[in-house]
Amino acid sequence: MGCVVVQLGQGGNQMASAFFNALASLSHPATASQDFFRDSSTGEHIARAVLIDMEPKVVAAAMKRPCGSPLSNPGSWSYSQNRQVICDSGSGNNWARGFYVHGPRCQDSILDTVRLEVEECDRFGGFVTMQSMGGGTGSGLGTYISEALRDEYPSTCILSNCIWPHESGEVIVQSYNVLLTLSYLESLADGIVILQNEGLTSICKKLLGIQRPSFDHMNEVAAESLVSVLLPAFWRPVEATLSPQKENTHRLTHPIIQTGNNKPNNSGKFVASSHIHLLSDLVSVLCAHPAYRLLSLRFTPQVPPQSLDFTTFTWGAHMKQLRHMLTMGAWGDTDINWSAALSTIASSTSKVSNQPGLRPTNRSVANLLILRGNGSQHADVNTFAHESLYPIWSVDPLNVAVNETKLGNYEMAAGLLSNCQSTVMPASRVLPRAYGMYSARAYLHQYFEHGMDNSSFDAAFATVEDIVARYLAL
């Protein structure tokens, strides 16, 4: 199953390069090239990617990355030389310039290049787009190309990975750009993974000991988390998920997706044999409800590489940490208010957990838990199945997948992809800032000169307000 990565703008291209690096270095050599790499006639791993930017510098840097022999270096890979679309003028951090100027001008050449890569797939699994929401090319052109891909491939899955800028401000007009991008992608993408620079910076500083993290450091953290859920895995049968003595205490009657390939072995126990199909399975279990498409990503363990040899891995510790992170909407355990977390956990296990003030801080429409490493088949995930974590109308809210193969040097690793309330917290904070600028008519002329008008902003405000309200009402 081949998935094509469409990397847009400076942030998207840098993020995608880190993603392919992580795929190649953390995956097993036998499976590294299946979904996101193809083999050339010389045996090299070629990324299934299309590189797009309105300035040549970032794409040129990505194309020049060194590549070695796959036999001597299983982690080596390269981009195809004829899978790039570049121009000589940027978007100036202006969403309208990217959408209304560069979009129509570059659409045909981009779609032709994308089509070449799609035709290289024996079975096409969908698009993974990578873009920043704060600049001009990634946000404006990225939105336009997402719309073009939806028109050109109407039944194909599109998983958008969006970099949310620092809230302190990387670009003066980023509030506008984020607002406009989110309002469009909500109806174009099947799922939108929000990667917050604020959270990535916190992980680098507090967990990895990097006092002044660069964008490269943050991209590496985000890429590792993405790889934890996008490498091959297998659905874990329901029999292996909830222990019999606890099943009756949960509302979830079908917490794991059921397939005909889950067969009992000679001992009568079920084994996982149904492979996750990227990207359709991910979006079908997490974003089945069309009103909820925003996803957050959490990963454990996150420790400095030099500390791996001295780290003790247990599934109980992984599950406890991930549960705390999910409940509190935190990126890492250093960001958790532990007194609040302990109070929330106590209340969620009580018989009155649905009373006001006693439910978890962060509720989810659905969660996908992917465990990798020895013992993942039998790890206890009951803590993620409690009814207090989900709205009562949610169907099959918890799904679990496993792979006994290690993730890189991690003996055990767990990725959690969640459709939960924490994804809209940045949007709820950016709305008043955007409203303030809009009321003052600040910088609007830069957008209006490219074809936008007040109605475009009014529609974007209304759409994002609806998204936030729906999630806060869970």
172-208 confidence digits (pLDDT tens): 999 999 999 999 999 999 999 999 999 999 999 988 9
pLDDT in tens, 147-178: 999 999 999 999 999 999 998 877 899 999 99
Q: What is the mean pLDDT of residues 132-160?
A: 96
- Please tell me whether residues 254 and 178 are part of one structural domain: no
Q: In CATH, what number is assigned to the domain containing residue 452?
A: 1.10.287.600
- Please tell me whether residues 142 and 281 are part of one structural domain: no
**17 - beta bridge partners?**
none
Domain annotation covers residue 220: no
Domain annotation covers residue 396: yes
Helix, strand, or coil here: 456?
helix
Q: In CATH, what number is assigned to the domain containing residue 127?
A: 3.40.50.1440
Dihedral of CA atoms 322, 323, 324, 329 in degrees, nearest 10, equals 80
- Please tell me whether residues 117 and 264 are part of one structural domain: no
Domain annotation covers residue 209: no
Q: What letter would DSSP give residue 270?
A: B
Q: Compute the distance between CA of residue 71 and CA of residue 80 in angstroms, rounded to an integer.
A: 19
Q: Are 379 and 428 in contact (CB under 8 A)?
A: no
The pLDDT of residue 150 is 97
Domain annotation covers residue 212: no
How many residues make up the chain in this entry?
474
- Please tell me whether residues 316 and 178 are part of one structural domain: no
- Please tell me whether residues 161 and 101 are part of one structural domain: yes
Domain annotation covers residue 32: yes
Q: Compute the distance between CA of residue 235 and CA of residue 394 in angstroms, rounded to an integer.
A: 19
Q: State the residue range of the domain holding 431.
A: 425-472
Domain annotation covers residue 139: yes
- Please tell me whether residues 51 and 182 are part of one structural domain: yes
For residue 79, is pLDDT > 90? yes
Note every long-range contact of 45-48, with CB atoms under 8 Å and residues 24 or more positions apart, other chains counting. 45/70, 45/76, 45/77, 45/78, 46/77, 46/78, 46/79, 46/80, 47/5, 47/20, 47/77, 47/78, 47/79, 47/80, 48/2, 48/3, 48/4, 48/5, 48/117, 48/120, 48/121
Domain annotation covers residue 114: yes
Closest CA to 278 of 370, 342, 216, 353: 370
Q: In CATH, what number is assigned to the domain containing residue 365?
A: 3.30.1330.20
Burial of 436 (0-12, 13-18, 19+ CB in 10 A): exposed
How many CB atoms within 10 Å of residue 277? Answer: 15
Tell me the pLDDT band of 435, cut-offs 50, 70 and 90: very high
For residue 50, is pLDDT > 50? yes
Q: What is the mean pLDDT of residues 125-153?
A: 96
- Please tell me whether residues 247 and 342 are part of one structural domain: yes
- Please tell me whether residues 171 and 275 are part of one structural domain: no
Q: What is the count of structural domains for the chain?
A: 3
Domain annotation covers residue 333: yes
Q: What percent of the chain has pLDDT over 90?
A: 66
For residue 356, is pLDDT > 80? no
Report the run of H or E that residue 125 belongs to, with start and end. strand 124-132
Structure-block tokens of residue 24: 């190649």
The pLDDT of residue 313 is 83
Among 382, 406, 422, residue at a domain's last position: 422
Tell me the pLDDT band of 360, cut-offs 50, 70 and 90: low
pLDDT in tens, 209-248: 898 999 999 999 999 999 999 999 999 975 555 544 344 3
Q: Compute the distance between CA of residue 394 and CA of residue 45 in angstroms, rounded to an integer.
A: 41
List of residues 6+ apart from 335 with CB closer than 8 A: 199, 202, 206, 328
Q: What is the mean pLDDT of residues 90-118?
A: 94
Q: What is the mean pLDDT of residues 263-290?
A: 73
Amino acid, res. 9: G
- Please tell me whether residues 438 and 390 are part of one structural domain: no
